[in-house]
Structure 1
Amino acid sequence: MGFVEDMQKHFQANCRAREYDAHFSKVHSVAWNCDGTRLASGSYDKTAVSFTLDRDRLSKDHTFRGHGDSVDQLCWHPKHPDLFVTASGDKTVQIWDARSRKSAASVATKGENINICWSPDGRTIAVGNKEDLVSFIDVKAHKVRTEEQFKFEVNEISWNKAGDLFFLTSGQGVLHILSYPDIKPVYQVNAHPANLICIEFDPTGRHFAVGGADALVSLWDLTEMVCMRTFSRLDWPIRTLSFSHDGQVLASASEDLVIDIASVETGERITEVSVESPTFTVAWHPKSYLLAFACDDKDKYDRDRDRGTIKLFGLPNDKSS
């Protein structure tokens, strides 16, 4: 039995998503820590929440309060399993310690923050705001070290796994690749004919994927910087992407009422996760085929109220050895 058939059988046997209450409003971001013991979420309700994972179950750990506006994106330290950072519209970045359950630092920025990422060496946090300004924060000093103002729409930012290149998806369908740390243009890739929304690197360092407003996902060879294939099963702009721990499976989601789960090697659909509303954040577990995601879900008794739930699909430890 081949990989795709094996995975199809696996997900067919474990096709129900488990749901957990997390927030009082819409969840904007979910992310696993580096060792997969914790999951964190950020919400429109101005809070972040951490969970502890016990096999296939989440236990709510703590609610982190301190932001004055929506928590739009978060990410964990690449090597420290207890530290994560949040970006908010309140013009601050907060670094949190899950052990002490409080803010380790608050860094003021110049605008409403919408995207954030942590450098692979853990020394720098990059945060982008609505005015296309990207600030690079020194993690030890808790201060903005440098800023770069871009003249194009910056939608998402990320370092490559080596940490020597910095990527920006733009509103013109162009992927901008800069050298790091000097932040000089290296490549401009005409990736899609429409706005580029999200970017994700596979954990093995071989590939990256880009999602666009044209409802396409493109898979790229990082060494050759060439497009290997596209995934075109969704009908709405691609909002979020995530590679599995081994780089063999790619999840993509949008306003479609399914999450597409595909083979990176062949492009074939492995399975799809049915959802009841648009999905704006997905994250594979760093050691197993366990997908966390959050939808724009509504309370069945009050359609004007977002529920703020997180869902898990799949099982841990089934393919991670």
Structure 2
Amino acid sequence: MVTVSALKEHFAANCRTRDYQSHTSKVHSVDWNSDGRRLASGSFDKTVSVFHLEKDRLSKEHTFKGHSDSVDQLTWHPFNPELLATASLDKSVRLWDARTNKSIANIVTKGENINICWSPDGQTVAVGNKEDLVTFIDTRTYKTRKEQPFKFEVNEISWNNDNDLFFLTSGQGNVHILNYPQLESQCVLNAHPATCICIEFDPTGKYFAVGSADAMVSLWDASHLVCIRTISRLEWPARTISFSYDGQLLASASEDLMIDISYVETGEKITDIPTESPTFTVAFHPKRYLLAFACDDKDSYNRDRDAGTVKLFGLPND
């Protein structure tokens, strides 16, 4: 295990951020593929960009076109580095093969889709829409397997690492836990006094984290479902979180003009990344301490120049 002092020294020596023009308007979602060689971004401009990582630089491979409305979230297959799933407000989910420039499946859904996740076994994609309906899609047949409505505000969704539980964050400050595939309620965690926005499981399966509108991030023991600590350095709602590949670091971001990097075992601050506008999507690389993120477009005076930018942090200083 890397020590806190070693991590702080690493980021002190590797604290440069590089910008890459990705889209013509706001980037909603970024995600690395399973082998870390590709980064995808989805945007309000209705497109998906796929970059290839060469050492410490990104080069654009493809621009996927096909959605007729904003691409709000995307996710790579958990172990096939070529397959990508995207959720759009156009009431569809698309699956893409990164080796081509076309979608391999277009699945029509019942509402405007705002979140998506892939099951750890790679067999199912779950997508949530604005009407709090979660649709489960078989990724082998491209058919809808089940549609599950909820009577509460569903914000973000995720399987646990063992693929036998399904988690939903809610507008009531709760985390709802269902068994899978039965989707029967098993437990409701009273996680925060305000809306629970985002949820992320660490790669080791030991913890999961929840980001809330109360500006707190809570860290939970995934086996015993108990909160073990909270991180409270943000001042605005915690919109997006990501664990590092080894589970030792947690990135948290919001409307604060910085991204907080915490040491998971203690909650101690390792570093922060200054930003010029709010951050709504972050993703740690699956094999190294390299963070991809995207910020909101700047104010109207600078929007044309800054719109659609993807950023990498953790690059060696020149």
Match of 2:261 in 1: 261
Question: Aligned equivalents of 2:83 and 2:123: distance in 1?
Answer: 12
Which residue number in structure 1 is paired with residue 60 of structure 2? 60
1:141 Cα offset (Å): 1.1
Whether 1:30 and 2:30 are equivalent positions in the alignment is yes
Contact 1:255 1:277 in 2 (8 A): yes
Q: Deviations over 1:122-141 (max 9, x none)?
A: 10000000000000001111
The superposition leaves residues 33-54 of structure 1 with CA deviations (integer Å, 9 ceiling, x where unpaired) of 0010100000000000000001
Q: What is the aligned partner in structure 2 of residue 44 from structure 1?
A: 44
Pairwise mapping of residues 266-285 of structure 1 onto structure 2 (< 5 A)? 266-285=266-285
TM-score by length of structure 1 reads: 0.96
SS in 2 for 1:298: coil
The offset of 1:2, in angstroms, is: 7.0
Partner Cα distance (2:302, 2:5) in 1: 41
Rounded Cα–Cα distance in structure 1 between residues aligned with 2:170 and 2:100: 38
> Which AA in structure 2 matches 1:195?
T
Aligned to 1:100: 100
Partner of 2:112: 112
Q: Alpha carbons of 1:260 and 1:302: their partners in 2 closer, same or farther (altered >3 Å)?
A: closer
- Residue 319 of structure 1 is matched in structure 2 by none
**Structure 1, unaligned runs of 5 or more:** 317-321
Secondary structure of the 2:60 match is strand
Runs (4 or more) in structure 1 with deviation over 2 Å come to 297-306
Query: Relative to 1, partners in 2 of residues 1:154 and 1:2: Cα closer, same or farther, differing over 3 Å?
Result: closer
Equivalent residue for 1:126? 126
**CA distance in structure 1 between the partners assigned to 2:202 and 2:50 by the alignment:** 24
Using the alignment, how far apart are the partners of 1:127 and 1:241 within structure 2?
19
Matched, 1:191 2:191: yes
Q: Counterpart of 1:154 in structure 2: which amino acid?
A: V
Asked if the contact 1:215–1:237 (Cα under 8 Å) also holds between the matched residues in 2, the reply is: yes
Q: Structure 2 length as normaliser, TM-score?
A: 0.97
**Does the 8 Å contact 1:26/1:306 carry over to 2?**
no
Does the CA-based 8 Å contact 2:17-2:315 persist in structure 1? Answer: no
| Alpha-carbon distance in structure 1 between the residues aligned to 2:46 and 2:74 | 12
Question: What per-residue deviation string (whole Å, max 9, x for no partner) do you get for residues 31-86 of structure 1?
Answer: 00001010000000000000000111100111000000000000000111010000
Name 2:229's counterpart in structure 1: 229
Q: C-alpha separation between the residues in 1 aligned to 2:300 and 2:148?
A: 44
The residue number in structure 2 matching 1:201 is 201
| Secondary structure, counterpart of 1:245 in structure 2 | coil
Quick one: distance in 2 between partners of 1:186 and 1:304? 48
**DSSP-derived class of the 2:236 partner:** coil
**Displacement of 1:297 after TM fit?**
2.8
Whole-angstrom distance in 2 between the partners of 1:60 and 1:185? 43
Contact 1:20/1:309 (<8 A) preserved: yes
Specify whether residues 314 and 302 from structure 1 end up closer, same or farther in structure 2 by C-alpha distance, changes over 3 A only. Answer: closer
Question: Any stretches of 5+ residues in structure 2 without a counterpart?
Answer: none
Contact kept, 8 Å, 2:177 with 2:185, in 1: the verdict is yes
Partner of 1:143: 143
Partner Cα distance (2:38, 2:283) in 1: 12
Task: Give CA-to-partner distance per residue, 1:228-277, whole Å, 9 cap, x none.
Answer: 10000000000000000000000000000000000001110000000000
